[in-house]
């Protein structure tokens, strides 16, 4: 049986050490070093700028399956994490028992959320994708639009995607024209609900 590689993203060293201790005790789970490839990224929701850290990690490690450790969450909070590309959510109250099981489930390609949350997410995601397909936006425009809806600046979008700021401005202009809106605020008001962004 090959081992599952995990990288921990926690800003507090004690929290990171706790997660590492729990996962290191498992024979089939190995903690990845900085330059190692890994399958599952474990994020502490109380870390400073966890949203930005998660976004950057997903862009840098596109094959990573993110797992967030957080306070127990309701369905809406779980959906919020799902729409940010997170594959699972483990509560602080049960992390010692659930963290290894969740890591294994993510490594096998499955989500770690309650079934009703996954079913609701699948319905919302299907409607969202259908709406996006009807938009006639290019793949790059849809990518830029998701960052726009999350209130990133043109400069931030350019740095994340790896294109020039001028190219981002061009895409933003095309998006606003195609969607028949006059500003970023109007775009957000109209499209945030369809993209599951809060």
Q: What is the pLDDT, as a whole number, of residue 154?
A: 93
The CATH code of domain 135-195 reads: 1.10.10.10
pLDDT < 70 positions in the chain: 1, 128-135, 192-198
Cβ neighbours of residue 118 under 8 Å, at least 6 residues apart? 82, 111
Write down the pLDDT at residue 130: 65
Q: Where are the alpha helices (DSSP H) in the chain?
A: 13-24, 50-60, 75-82, 95-107, 115-134, 139-149, 154-161, 165-178, 184-195
What pLDDT is attached to residue 168?
A: 95
- DSSP, collapsed to helix, strand or coil, labels residue 113 as coil
- How far apart are alpha carbons 51 and 37 in whole angstroms? 22
Q: Give residue 98's pLDDT.
A: 95
What are the angstrom distances between the C-alpha of 46 and each of 53, 54, 173?
Answer: 12, 12, 36
What CATH number should be reported for the domain whose range is 4-113? Answer: 3.40.50.2300
- Record the tokens describing residue 58, joined without a space: 């997903």
Can you give the residue ranges of every domain in the chain?
Answer: 4-113, 135-195
Q: To 10 degrees, what angle do helices 154-161 and 139-149 make?
A: 130
pLDDT of 73 = 79
* pLDDT reported for residue 28: 94
pLDDT at site 171? 94
């Amino acid at each position: 049986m090959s081992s599952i590689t995990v990288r921990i993203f926690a800003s507090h060293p004690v929290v990171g050490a706790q997660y590492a201790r729990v996962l290191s005790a498992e024979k089939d789970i190995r903690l990845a070093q900085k330059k190692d490839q890994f399958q599952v990224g474990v994020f502490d929701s109380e870390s400073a700028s966890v949203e930005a850290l998660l976004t950057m990690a997903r862009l840098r490690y596109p094959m990573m399956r993110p797992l967030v450790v957080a306070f127990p969450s309701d369905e809406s909070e779980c959906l919020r994490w799902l729409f940010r590309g997170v594959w699972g959510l483990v509560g602080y109250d049960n992390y010692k028992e659930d963290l290894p099981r969740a890591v294994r489930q993510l490594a096998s390609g499955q989500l770690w959320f309650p079934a009703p949350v996954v079913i609701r997410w699948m319905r919302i995601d299907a409607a969202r994708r259908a709406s996006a397909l009807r938009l006639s936006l290019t793949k790059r425009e849809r990518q830029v639009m998701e960052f726009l809806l999350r209130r990133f600046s043109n400069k931030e979008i350019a740095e994340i995607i790896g294109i020039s700021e001028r190219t981002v401005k061009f895409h933003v202009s095309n998006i606003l024209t195609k969607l028949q809106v006059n500003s970023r605020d109007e775009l957000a008001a109209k499209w945030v609900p369809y993209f599951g962004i809060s």
